């Protein structure tokens, strides 16, 4: 007799500790949408975005201005969103990160990722 691996009924983000669970009566289907396994634990989308933006600042000079730091974080977040789901439209990505469609197009060009058809 084979047993299917048990799917957890709830997940806790390893960074912000938010907890999500399937509604009663619904069968779990793996990690919640847009969550990922990182370093052995579940990470929610909000924390994945923060981690991507923070990574852009690691190793940078502490003398960077607030504007330069914000610009680096913005670029990193935009590139994270483009690579996370390149099949989304430029407008959907722009809306998710509160930027312009032109900024998404430029990020796609930098990354060499074509826009969804």
pLDDT at 98: 92
For the question of whether the overall pTM of this predicted structure is more than 0.85, the answer is no
Per-residue b/e over 31-68, b at no fewer than 16 CB within 10 Å?
bbeebeeeeeebbbbebbbbebbeebeeeeeeeeeeee
pLDDT at 32: 87
Domain boundaries, the chain: 10-111
CA distances from 23 to 16, 20, 36, 78, 109 (A): 21, 9, 20, 32, 41
Is residue 21 within 8 Å of 10, Cβ to Cβ? Answer: yes
pLDDT tens digits, one per residue of 1-49: 555 556 667 889 999 999 998 877 776 678 888 999 988 899 999 999 9
Strands (E), the chain: 10-12, 19-21, 36-38, 41-43
């Amino acid at each position: 007799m084979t047993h299917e691996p048990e799917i957890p009924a709830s997940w806790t983000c390893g960074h912000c500790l938010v907890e999500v669970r399937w509604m009663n009566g619904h069968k779990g289907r793996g990690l919640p949408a847009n969550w990922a396994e990182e370093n052995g634990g579940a990470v929610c989308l909000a924390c994945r975005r923060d981690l991507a933006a923070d990574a852009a600042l690691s190793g940078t000079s502490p003398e960077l201005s607030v504007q330069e730091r914000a610009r680096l974080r913005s670029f990193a977040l935009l590139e994270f969103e483009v690579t996370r789901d390149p099949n989304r439209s430029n407008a959907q990505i722009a809306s998710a990160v509160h930027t312009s469609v032109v900024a998404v197009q430029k990020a796609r060009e930098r990354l060499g990722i074509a826009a969804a058809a």
